[in-house]
Structure 1
């Protein structure tokens, strides 16, 4: 996030929206988001945190009709500033509305996330994948921190297990574990690697969930214009 860059470059975004004949309402929302970003510079660390504070300050909830347009407007600004991408009328899956735990991590845990991002940027991973892995990895490390760990060596197997299981059931799935594992293994080549590898090896085995695919076996008969029978059969693969 580079607000000074956004201050310099945002006229190009607004000009593009006018030239491409975006609606006045859409452009006004972009302008409102830009003003809020500039007026509150220094009071947030990333777009997710800014969005969270804006939602609460405006009293908007996810069910409110203005919530989605507001999120879309900020996504457009995010894509323009960080990815150099102009709006294309396609809603891209840039996650917003949730504060990443990174800013709450101790420096010795933040470096794990930083190291991962250095290595991740050398790969072909898309920004959305990196974002998700950072979010899940940060949440994991923050939970370890809340359990009393202040160093990587202080993260114990019991802490790791309780992150995934509450004693009665699994509370996080295989994809969540994979994202955490990606962050830990992304520390290859750094001083943190030995401990990150130990923690990655200690992650519990979680079976990939199997989905139920509905097979529709429909028997329909009509008496005049009345549908008299429909039968649906669902089989577990």
Structure 2
């Protein structure tokens, strides 16, 4: 880490942010962190920016403080070493257990990353949840005082699940952890990866019931999207787009101008999740809302994506931005106000799929509309198709049940 380079370049970063109207608070944070590094470097003898972060890990216990430090350090590091200016999207990233792992455990994760990037066609973020699971697993082992793969015992593994009820019931956590060790096994000839995998307890796959939108909630959402003047043009356009097309948030954020065929009233995209093409009809109410946003409210920007953040630097929307928009719509509709209530645009997508099912649309057509690669992906929505589920119900008239059993129902 070249301190002279940092001392020379950080004023340029501050000047750039001031010229491009970054928030004063954001600028102040970057400046304070830069000065802190320069001031404390003599005491800690840092050689890299990772060393700076490790000092923060030892110094601070609050995860929010650590996340803030990590974000600021990454902004400074990218500008000083690569001349990359901050675009703000870093704050949407979740911190990882990886940063706190020992060298041997980090090496396992690095091997996994390398294999995925070289042998799999999907983008790496498609496999990110697997990395998060195994990093969490290894971090919990470190808390038990285990810092080597060879030292992991069956008791260490079982204790992780005994001490955490949520993990003990998590099928995906165990499956993803085992998958990472299986992928890395060829690079550890001693068989240690297979041995650790054998310690993982069996898990039964379960699926949690979705807190689907009720008919009353759907009507309230439609009223807000179509009639509430306090809703911004961007929020209205995005809300209507998801409500009537069921697009994923990642596809909405990546939607570009050339993917909207105004003459044919179609949306043609390459899905971010699967990489497969998808063509959807563009209803008049959706197209008009998008057009109003583009012509009346969208910031002037060279960005090719349709929907942009409302504050500089203008950039494409990320999933956290879209979640906030959905929460705003639900608040205006006066629904889902409890902290435990399920929120997010996936509920709109779920509603579209179940509505098509209830109206007798064939499953292959629904799968294509939702952009599913596998027909099994539709199974999630079948449990909410109450109209057709009732047709499968068996009569209980022949069973002797006392009348008072049904009192109050």
Distance in 2 between residues matched to 1:94 and 1:158, nearest whole Å: 34
Match of 1:224 in 2: none
Gap change, CA 1:179 and 1:78, over 3 Å in 2: farther
Match of 2:213 among 212, 215, 221: 215
> Is 1:156 matched up with 2:153?
yes
The whole-number CA distance in structure 2 between the counterparts of 1:171 and 1:111 is 24
User: 1: CA distance between counterparts of 2:335 and 2:14?
Assistant: 54
For 2:184, the equivalent position in structure 1 comes to 187
Structure 1 portions without partners, runs of 5+: 104-109, 221-229
TM-fit CA distance, 1:166: 3.1
Q: Secondary structure at the match of 2:92?
A: coil
TM-score where L is the length of structure 2: 0.38
Question: Which structure is higher in RCO with an 8 Å CA cutoff and minimum separation 6?
Answer: 1
1:47–1:211 distance in 2 versus 1, CA, 3 Å:
farther
Give the SS at the match of 2:75: helix
Structure 2 counterpart of 1:22: 22
Confirm or deny: 8 A CA contact 1:79 1:86 kept in the other structure.
yes
Deviation at 1:25? Answer: 3.0
Paired residues, number: 208
How far the C-alpha of 1:182 sits from its partner, in A, is: 5.3
| C-alpha distance in structure 2 between counterparts of 1:133 and 1:84, whole Å | 33
What is the match of residue 198 of structure 1? 195
Q: 1:118 to 1:47 in 2, by over 3 A?
A: farther
Normalised by the length of structure 1, the TM-score is 0.59
Give the greater-gyration-radius structure (CA). Answer: 2
In 2, Cα distance between equivalents of 1:43 and 1:98: 25
Preserved CA contact (<8 Å) 1:14 1:27: yes
Q: Which residue of 2 aligns with 1:32?
A: 32
Aligned to 2:124: 125
DSSP-derived class of the 2:184 partner: coil
Name the SS for the 1:215 alignment partner: coil
After superposition, where does 1:216-231 map in structure 2 within 5 Å? 216-218=214-216
CA distance in 1, matches of 2:81, 2:180: 21
- Deviation at residue 195 of structure 1 after TM alignment: 0.4
